[in-house]
């Protein structure tokens, strides 16, 4: 049971990161949250993600190159 719970948490975490990456706008190099707040790489690094902020933004930039439609993204998640 404990292993299943751990796998479920990892899956939820993965989907949350994909949803954030989908909100990345390459023109501004920012993430736009559902409440309209914009977050840049510097803010992400200094407000809790630390060194992972840079890594996550790299992932967002690469993920954005896929140019997924909303429908394709929904199927992915």
Q: What is the pLDDT of residue 63?
A: 94
Q: How far apart are CA 55 and CA 62, in angstroms?
A: 11
- For residue 8, what is the domain's CATH number? 1.10.565.10
Q: What is the pLDDT of residue 64?
A: 95
Q: How far apart are CA 15 and CA 77, in angstroms?
A: 6
pLDDT at 28 over 90: yes
pLDDT at 68 over 80: yes
How many domains would you assign to the chain?
1
pLDDT at 58 over 90: yes
Q: How far apart are CA 73 and CA 77, in angstroms?
A: 6
Residue 71: domain span: 2-76
Q: What is the pLDDT of residue 76?
A: 84
Q: What is the pLDDT of residue 65?
A: 95
Q: Is 61 exposed, middle or buried (0-12, 13-18, 19+ CB in 10 A)?
A: middle
Q: What is the pLDDT of residue 38?
A: 95
Q: Which residue has the higher pLDDT, 29 or 75?
A: 29
């Amino acid at each position: 049971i404990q292993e299943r719970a751990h796998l479920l948490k990892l899956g939820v975490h993965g989907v949350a990161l994909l949803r954030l990456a989908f909100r990345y706008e390459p023109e501004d190099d920012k993430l736009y949250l559902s409440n309209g707040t914009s977050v840049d790489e510097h803010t992400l690094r200094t407000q809790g993600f630390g060194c992972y902020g840079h890594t996550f933004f790299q992932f967002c930039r690469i993920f954005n190159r896929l140019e997924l439609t909303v429908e394709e993204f929904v199927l992915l998640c």
